[in-house]
């Protein structure tokens, strides 16, 4: 049952092979059985899940259901969920019960989906390995001594081990795609502004974007249909009706022009990962795609630029955690300043503190022009690089990550090396472009991700390529041993 696609699960519900309550129970039992090994959930909402499933069953019986009605999912613990703890992976919000639903959560509910729980994540989505979570590291089901990637590592690990059919994630610099790659699942970061950020706890507002993580492109397209759309409560939401993302999946990719990023196939890329991608390129070529080399000349600047912009924005966004309105409050404050200082000192973890300090520095008078302003100028050059590339090709392809999953603890003492895990994904956030990672094979038995980048609002095209690739390969159908 757990290896079924969403379309198959939906069919089973309609054919009365099982009810949504039974389906939900089944996944809750899998979580109970396996998540002690993975730590991919922070909260499991057993009771409300079964209640939601019972309602879904009524709708199904009355013939009032849509394709996702009664299908279970998990939300990254960064989406506010009314009446349910929303921790953002931080001690700061360990006691926070959200008083409202994020738009994404609201939309999934309206579609009749059933929330199994909230997934673990790097603290405030800051990390590439899920080791900065207050709730402990998440494990990669392909090898529990390795990281699942971050920051949506709980979602990608839970999907990879089939503890949930699908999950939501967020991506500020790679946090949907990098963990999807390391866990061998399919994840998509939409065009900036396609999915509402209302109720998504902010890390870096000009980069953050929610998106789906699932087993395959079709499942991801189905959830994206629900998640996306204009929201007047998000001032950066794009004012237009999104297309049906499943509409193009079955189109032939014959004649499609795919650009290979020269700068991403170099020494920094692990030779075994590179070999896997060479094979994928050949397979896509056989399916009719035409490859050509392209250049993104400023791509080497994307990591340093990101770590100025994202940190500047996070220092501002996280100033709201002051121990007064919500979140952790220190005991017995002496005065207001003591309350601020100790609440923040106690509530935030080391990585978050590092970023707030650096971010405050780059935004400070005297340094703003040298760092933040300069970074914004280079951000524009990075977008221009993509614009030029998309004049030559329809889609861009490369590796999602330079290596496969690394050992837990391997990079925690070396933030710069950790930051380089997102070297291939970050530029898309800076430019606001849609991109996805799909399973492309294995290197030393660990999953390798293939990265597809589309032009603005061209999600349907990258989903089309992903789906076509998944018709000729079965990497996305492989399951980690021990989670049967």
Active-site residues, by number, are: 76, 151, 175
Cβ-based neighbours of 311, under 8 Å, separated by 6 or more: 204, 355, 356, 358, 359, 362
Over the window 405 to 424, marking each residue x when it contacts ligand GLN by CB under 6 A and - when it does not, the resulting string is: -----------------x--
Among 44, 125, 446, 460, binds ligand GLN (CB under 6 A): 125
Report the nearest approach of ligand GLN to the CB of residue 171 (Å). 5
Buried b (16+ CB within 10 A) or exposed e, 315-337: bbbbeebbbeebbbbbeeeeeee
Among 128, 191, 194, 455, binds ligand GLN (CB under 6 A): 128
- Quickly list H helices, 39-176: 46-61, 103-110, 153-160
Comparison of 119 and 172: residue with beta carbon closer to ligand GLN: 172
Q: What are phi and psi of 215, to 5 degrees?
A: -80, -25
Q: Is 437 helix (H, G, I), strand (E, B) or coil?
A: strand
Report the nearest approach of ligand GLN to the CB of residue 420 (Å). 10
Comparison of 321 and 475: residue with beta carbon closer to ligand GLN: 321
Comparison of 31 and 176: residue with beta carbon closer to ligand GLN: 176
What part of residues 288-317 is at the interface with ligand GLN (CB under 6 A)?
A: 310
User: How far, in whole angstroms, is CA 250 from its chain's centroid?
Assistant: 25
CA dist 103 and 236 (Å) reads: 14
What part of residues 144-183 is at the interface with ligand GLN (CB under 6 A)?
A: 151, 171-175
Enter the tokens of residue 7: 């379309």
- Quickly list H helices, 87-246: 103-110, 153-160, 177-183, 217-227
Comparison of 52 and 123: residue with beta carbon closer to ligand GLN: 123
Report the nearest approach of ligand GLN to the CB of residue 17 (Å). 38
Cβ atoms < 10 Å from Cβ of 12: 17
CA dist 107 and 210 (Å) reads: 13
Q: Is 389 helix (H, G, I), strand (E, B) or coil?
A: helix
Look at phi and psi of residue 38 and say left if phi exceeds 0, alpha if psi is from -120 to 50, else beta.
alpha
Residue closest to 159 by CA, chosen among 459, 439, 429: 439
Among 117, 127, 312, 480, binds ligand GLN (CB under 6 A): 127
Comparison of 122 and 394: residue with beta carbon closer to ligand GLN: 122
Is the preceding peptide bond at 370 cis, omega within 30 degrees of 0?
Answer: no
Comparison of 174 and 480: residue with beta carbon closer to ligand GLN: 174
Cβ atoms < 10 Å from Cβ of 126: 28
Binding segment (CB under 6 A) for ligand GLN, from list 94-102, 120-128, 338-346, 470-478: 120-128
Over the window 179 to 218, marking each residue x when it contacts ligand GLN by CB under 6 A and - when it does not, the resulting string is: ------------------------x---------------
Comparison of 6 and 195: residue with beta carbon closer to ligand GLN: 195
Compute how many residues bind ligand GLN; rule: CB under 6 A: 13
Residue found by looking up tokens 């900065």 in the block = 132
Report the nearest approach of ligand GLN to the CB of residue 153 (Å). 10
- Quickly list H helices, 161-292: 177-183, 217-227, 271-286
Contact status, residue 214 vs residue 159, Cβ threshold 8 Å: yes
Enter the tokens of residue 27: 């996944």
Give the chain's end-to-end CA distance (angstroms, integer).
10
Report the nearest approach of ligand GLN to the CB of residue 426 (Å). 7
> DSSP label at 444?
T
Residue closest to 149 by CA, chosen among 173, 177, 174, 182: 182
Contact status, residue 430 vs residue 382, Cβ threshold 8 Å: yes
Q: What is the CA angle 113-102-464, rounded to 5?
A: 60
Q: What are phi and psi of 396, to 5 degrees?
A: -120, 140
Residues for the chain: how many in total? 484
Comparison of 93 and 125: residue with beta carbon closer to ligand GLN: 125
Comparison of 106 and 171: residue with beta carbon closer to ligand GLN: 171
Q: Which positions touch ligand GLN (CB under 6 A)?
A: 125-128, 151, 171-175, 203, 310, 422
């Amino acid at each position: 049952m757990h290896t079924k696609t969403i379309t198959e699960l939906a069919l089973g519900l309609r054919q009365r092979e099982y009810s949504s309550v039974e389906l939900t129970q089944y996944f809750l039992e899998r979580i109970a059985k396996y998540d002690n090994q993975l730590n991919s959930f922070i909260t499991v909402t057993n009771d409300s899940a079964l209640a939601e499933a019972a309602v879904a069953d009524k709708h199904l019986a009355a013939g009032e259901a849509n394709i996702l009605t009664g299908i279970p999912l998990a939300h990254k613990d960064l989406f506010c969920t009314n009446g349910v703890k929303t921790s953002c992976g931080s001690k700061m919000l360990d006691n926070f019960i959200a008083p409202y639903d994020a738009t994404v959560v609201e939309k999934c509910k309206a579609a009749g989906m059933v929330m199994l729980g909230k997934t673990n994540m790097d603290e405030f989505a800051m990390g590439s390995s899920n080791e900065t979570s207050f709730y402990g590291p998440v494990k990669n089901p392909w090898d529990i001594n390795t990281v699942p990637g971050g920051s949506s590592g709980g979602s990608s690990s839970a999907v990879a081990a089939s503890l949930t059919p699908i999950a939501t994630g967020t991506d500020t610099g790679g946090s949907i795609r990098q963990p999807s790659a390391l866990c061998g699942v399919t994840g998509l970061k939409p065009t900036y502004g396609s999915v509402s950020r209302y109720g998504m706890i902010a890390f870096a507002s000009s980069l953050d974007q929610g998106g789906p993580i699932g087993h395959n492109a079709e499942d991801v397209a189905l959830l994206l249909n629900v998640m996306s759309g204009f929201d007047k409560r998000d001032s950066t939401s794009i004012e237009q009706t999104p297309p049906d993302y499943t509409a193009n999946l079955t189109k032939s990719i014959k004649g499609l022009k795919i650009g290979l990023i020269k700068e991403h196939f170099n020494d920094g890329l692990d030779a075994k990962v590179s070999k896997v991608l060479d094979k994928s390129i050949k397979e896509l070529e056989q399916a009719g795609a035409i490859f050509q080399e392209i250049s993104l000349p400023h791509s080497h600047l994307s990591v340093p630029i990101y770590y100025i912009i994202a940190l500047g924005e996070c220092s501002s966004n996280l100033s709201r955690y002051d121990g007064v309105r919500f979140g952790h409050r220190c005991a017995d404050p002496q005065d207001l300043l003591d309350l601020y200082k100790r609440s923040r000192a106690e509530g935030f973890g080391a990585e978050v503190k590092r970023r707030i300090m650096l971010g405050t520095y780059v935004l400070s008078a005297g340094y703003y022009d040298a760092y933040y302003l300069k970074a914004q100028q280079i951000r524009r050059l990075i977008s221009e690089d993509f614009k030029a590339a998309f004049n030559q090709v329809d889609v861009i392809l490369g590796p999602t990550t330079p290596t496969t999953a690394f050992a837990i603890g391997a990079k925690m003492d070396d933030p710069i090396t950790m930051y380089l895990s997102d070297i291939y994904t970050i530029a898309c956030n800076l430019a606001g472009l849609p991109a996805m990672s799909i399973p492309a094979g294995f290197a030393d038995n660990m999953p390798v991700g293939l990265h597809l980048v589309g032009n603005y609002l061209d999600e349907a095209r990258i989903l089309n390529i992903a789906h076509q690739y998944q018709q000729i390969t079965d990497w996305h159908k492989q399951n980690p041993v021990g989670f049967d």
